[in-house]
Amino acid sequence: MPSKQKLSVEELLAIYPEDITALANDLRPVIREAMPEAVEVAYPGWQAIGYRDPSAGYVCGVFLFDDQVRLIFEHGNLLPDPEGVLEGKTKQTRHLTLRPGQSLPTKRIKQFVSLAVDLGARFKA
């Protein structure tokens, strides 16, 4: 069950290993560039940083693990993915798994985030 404890994004990231914090901190501005209107919120109970867009609602989250970061898209099952890089088999979400030491697929992330915002906006319309 999610915790009701309030933490800042920085406080949440401080709990994780340095390489995971660095990876998340590299990812955050990429998401913000693709979604400049987004509000960024720490969700300690989910061990995640969530992103909400005013026109699209909740779009994606950066979920933190001890050895990886997952960028999870709320309606990822509906995102076009011709290269088959999104992971997951749930009814709704899909994710990209990012690991320390691997290069960040910045262009791909921006494309997915932009598509996810457009998709979310259609759901809210």
Predicted TM-score (pTM) above 0.85: yes
> Whole-angstrom Cα distance, residue 120 to residue 113?
10
| CATH topology assigned to domain 9-124 | Aspartate Aminotransferase, domain 1 (3.90.1150)
pLDDT of residue 123: 80
> Whole-angstrom Cα distance, residue 64 to residue 44?
10
Would you write out the chain's pLDDT as a tens digit for each of its 125 residues? 344 568 999 999 999 999 999 999 999 999 999 999 999 999 999 999 999 999 999 999 999 999 999 999 999 999 999 999 999 999 999 999 999 999 999 999 999 999 999 999 988 76
- Specify burial of residue 76 (Cβ count, 10 A radius: 0-12, 13-18, 19+): buried
Write b or e for each residue in 42-51: b if 16 or more Cβ atoms lie within 10 A of its Cβ, otherwise e. Answer: bbeeebbbbb
